[in-house]
Chain A
Amino acid sequence: MRLLVTLLCSILLCFSAAAAASSSGWQQAKHLQAELVSEYQTVQAGQSVLLALHFIPDEHWHTYWINPGDSGLPTSIDWHLPQGVTAGSIQWPTPQFFSIPPMMNYGFAGPTVLLTELKIPTDFAQKELEIAAKVDWLVCEEICIPAEASFQFSIPVSENAERSAYAAELISKAQASQPQPLALSGYYDIAGDSFSAAIAGLPDEDFQGFFVAATELVDHAAPQQLLFSEGEWLLRQKLNTYFTQAPEQFELVLVSANGQGYSLSLKAAEHLAVAGQLETSNSGQALWLVLLMAAAGGFILNLMPCVFPVLSLKALSIAGNSGQRKQQQSDALWYSLGVVLSFVALAGVLLALRAAGAAVGWGFQLQSPLLVAALAYLLFALGLSLSGLVQFGLGLMNAGGGLTQQKGAKGSFFTGVLAVVVASPCTAPFMGGALGYAVTQPPALALLVFVALGLGMALPFLLLAYIPALARLLPKPGAWMDTLKQLLAYPLYLSAIWLAWVFGRQTGIDALALLLCGAVALAAACWLWGRWQLSQQGKAEPVFAVGFVVLALWLVWFATPTGLVATSAQATAAHWQSWSAEKQAQLQAAGKPVLVNMTADWCITCLVNERVALNTDSSKAALALYDVTYLKGDWTRRDAAITAYLHQYQRDGVPLYVLYWPGQPAEVLPQILTPDTLRQTLERLSKQ
């Protein structure tokens, strides 16, 4: 019996000793009891250890989050630690809403654990880690009671760290109650009287609420708007009356329907705007790279089977006539001039087309499904040509052939022109990239790119004229060239598939099927045309070939603009046009109502407004009902015309929404649009 008592006593002693090493013991305060617990009961130098501040408030009483909301105070811990030991900041659990109309608080009811990580330096030499913490908290029900308490205990330091069984469950629960940190950031901005944020890449959850860690930013009690649209979560809440300054970034906690919290950082979108400007000024730096790549692309054109024979003939003639060095060099220069001017002419045609397109209000919209489909067809047909099903550009080749036979400067010049013209069928993949870049750039830059392409193409010839020894390095023309040509068909097929996929995303599976049927029709057309090229007789084949091409085009035309286009992405792309002062003036002169929306990619408020209020079915219906033309100006790169327009309305930023109703002064809409703003304003204006 005595033995048993002794044993029990020693067990109890052991237990309390262990607890003492890992806990401060409970402190009783008004309406709350607290203890400080260590993750380890024995620690070693160089390790990290979690300390858990454990609160158990009375029922209905709560403590506060880092942003307490309209009143209250966050809990704070003042650590007193041995030299070299450092404490991190408090790792807060996911908070709860405490609504006390008209106010709102954020905090924690029930048992709550605040974790802090301590780091022990590797050269820590003391026998015990002495931990002292002064903790301040405010515990509230209806009334609030501030309190402070000091916690103190020591943890033995040894060779081997030992976890505390007492703390294990507490700490794992605490970790589970924390928001899951996400390595992503969203952007926010402030306009009018609202805070708006956009976050992409969130887990697939139904988010129901959010907490901003910045104080006096949002009106905590105002309704929170959360909307999932086009892959992004959009948040909006009224701005706090006591808001003064927008923080550069702060933590945001999002809570899903099942109560799981996620934390991420929100950054001020102004920085995006600055980044956008930097990008613009950096485009000068990227220019040399673009030109270098264009020149490299031009150089590679020489290896194309359509060009190489021309080049090698010239090159061989140079190698053979070493006596006439002067003459060869002059020939090379004329050839180069022919190549470069041909490219410049090509660029000129392209730019003229673009200008003509823009003048009639048809921009180069690469997002247009019709254009995507046409490009897919083009690449597919070019692929078939490379595979040998049909030959494109034979006529051109014959026409130029005569000119190149001439001697001297004229002959060399036209050989250069011919090289470019002849090259076109098999150089599309390379040219495509340059073309794509050029259409989006200012004319001077586009011309430069094409000059670089031409210089790159003429380069081997120039080199040969000035360093004849290089001719020995040239590969001999032969069957390998045809093999290369046929191999090059496959990247083209893949490009066509990629475009078809884009088209499918934009339109839907039915439209994609029609596009593929069109591709088959195109293949049939190419096959028939190729047969006719070989035989050069009969009329049926060309007629059928043209018929199949028409069929292919009709299929995509049928697939795109009709009811088969089901997704909203396509529908939204159609209900606005890009803004220009001229277009607006024309519409107004014609007595039509106009809605102008000035926006920018980095403007989160603009984005939320568009998704919440402008791209909705009801707003689209209202625009259609009142025959309003919706013009959108993109200020992402601080377009000067738009800046001037903004100044007209005493604004130096976006968003700006202006409604022009014939015969009435321009109506500036609020910066924060609600789903009904547009419809109601139109209703009112139309009745005046």
Chain B
Amino acid sequence: MKKMKLLAVAAAALFAGSLAAAPQVGQPAPAFTVKDSAGQVHSLQDFAGKNVVLEWTNHDCPFVVKHYQGNMQQLQQEMTSADVVWLSVISSAPGKQGHVDQAKSDELTSSRSAAPTAVIFDEDGVMGKAYDARTTPHMYVIDKNGVLQYMGGIDSIPSAKVEDIAKATPYFANAGKAVLAGQTPDPAVTRPYGCSIKY
């Protein structure tokens, strides 16, 4: 027990430096420069003037699987057709569960009929930690001015059961619609739920 706690403290101390400032809704979203599955580099400022969605993902995570039964793909299609940039981010470190190469990533996108703008490989976890991303799925909405408008869970029922999707309040979908309509999401911060990100 004591060892565990010491570990936790040491770990937290180590990461306190990298977590310089926690992301805050209503404030500029943390900047990032990352490569996608095709090797192309993306930066947040490249998307100035566009609404951006960040989705942390891990294809084997049961909570991700729950939403990839159709819900996530539908959201991706709706948002991207409204000219939203949708980035699916994989922060699993090389050798960790959920880490994929380009071929596997492409295969996952086509086999699941996923429709993100790009799949981001955040192998060193810098982007994930800048956003304090913890779970898969974990959702963020950034508006046209680069201001973080929403962060948290995809919906209100933390479970791995598909049938709960219909019963839940779709926090992320509501937030996305609000931002598209130029409004402030309410709630703007919710509890993220799912598997831990394998940094």
Given that A71-B195, A143-B60, A143-B97 are contacting pairs, would A96 and B8 also be in contact in the complex, using a CB cutoff of 8 Å? no
Do A222 and B12 have beta carbons less than 8 Å apart?
Answer: yes
Report the minimum CB–CB distance from A249 to chain B (whole Å).
19
Of the stretches B82-90, B112-120, B129-137, the one at the interface is B129-137
Q: Which residue of B lies closest to A256 (CB)?
A: B1
What does the 1/0 interface line of B1-40 toward A look like (CB < 8 Å)?
A: 1101101110111111011001100000000000000000
Q: Is B187 an interface position by the 8 A CB rule?
A: yes
Q: Which residue of B lies closest to A100 (CB)?
A: B196
Q: Which of B5, B13, B22, B189 contacts A97 (CB 8 A)?
A: B5
Do B192 and A242 have beta carbons less than 8 Å apart?
Answer: yes
Report the minimum CB–CB distance from B66 to chain A (whole Å).
9
Do B1 and A97 have beta carbons less than 8 Å apart?
Answer: yes
B interface bracket (residues with beta carbon within 8 Å of A): 35 or more
CB neighbours (8 Å) of B159 from chain A are 73, 136, 146
In the bound assembly, the distance between CA atoms of A244 and B22 in angstroms comes to 14
Q: Which residue of B lies closest to A141 (CB)?
A: B97
Do A102 and B60 have beta carbons less than 8 Å apart?
Answer: no
Do A257 and B11 have beta carbons less than 8 Å apart?
Answer: no
Q: Which residue of A lies closest to B191 (CB)?
A: A216
Q: Is B72 an interface position by the 8 A CB rule?
A: no
Q: Which of A99, A148, A216 contacts B7 (CB 8 A)?
A: A99
Q: Is B185 an interface position by the 8 A CB rule?
A: no
Q: Which of A70, A138, A215, A243 contacts B134 (CB 8 A)?
A: A70
In the bound assembly, the distance between CA atoms of A142 and B5 in angstroms comes to 19
Q: Is B152 an interface position by the 8 A CB rule?
A: yes
Do A101 and B97 have beta carbons less than 8 Å apart?
Answer: no
Given that A71-B134, A242-B151, A255-B1 are contacting pairs, would A224 and B9 also be in contact in the complex, using a CB cutoff of 8 Å? yes
Q: Is A563 an interface position by the 8 A CB rule?
A: no
Given that A105-B196, A216-B191 are contacting pairs, would A208 and B15 also be in contact in the complex, using a CB cutoff of 8 Å? no
Q: Which of A100, A136, A208 contacts B1 (CB 8 A)?
A: A208
CB neighbours (8 Å) of B22 from chain A are 193, 241
What does the 1/0 interface line of A238-262 toward B look like (CB < 8 Å)?
A: 0001111000000000010101000
CB neighbours (8 Å) of A144 from chain B are 61-62, 195
Do B196 and A97 have beta carbons less than 8 Å apart?
Answer: no
CB neighbours (8 Å) of B63 from chain A are 146
Q: Is B172 an interface position by the 8 A CB rule?
A: no
In the complex, which residues 138-152 of chain A have their Cβ closer than 8 Å to any Cβ of chain B? 138, 140, 142-146, 148
Do A244 and B8 have beta carbons less than 8 Å apart?
Answer: no
Report the minimum CB–CB distance from A329 to chain B (whole Å).
76
Do B198 and A142 have beta carbons less than 8 Å apart?
Answer: yes
Q: Which residue of B lies closest to A97 (CB)?
A: B4
Given that A208-B2, A242-B191, A244-B189 are contacting pairs, would A73 and B158 also be in contact in the complex, using a CB cutoff of 8 Å? yes
- Could you list 22 A-B pairs, sorted by A, with CB under 8 Å? A71-B196, A71-B197, A73-B158, A97-B4, A99-B8, A100-B196, A101-B11, A102-B15, A102-B199, A103-B196, A142-B97, A144-B61, A208-B5, A221-B15, A222-B12, A222-B16, A223-B8, A241-B132, A242-B151, A242-B191, A242-B192, A244-B187
**Given A97-B1, A241-B23, 8 more pairs with CB closer than 8 A:** A71-B134, A99-B7, A101-B12, A101-B199, A221-B8, A224-B8, A242-B152, A244-B189
Q: Name B residues whose Cβ lies closer than 8 Å to a Cβ of A.
A: 1-2, 4-5, 7-9, 11-16, 18-19, 22-23, 60-63, 96-97, 129, 132, 134-135, 151-152, 158-161, 187, 189-199
Q: Name A residues whose Cβ lies closer than 8 Å to a Cβ of B.
A: 70-73, 96-105, 136, 138, 140, 142-146, 148, 193, 208-209, 215-216, 221-224, 241-244, 255, 257, 259
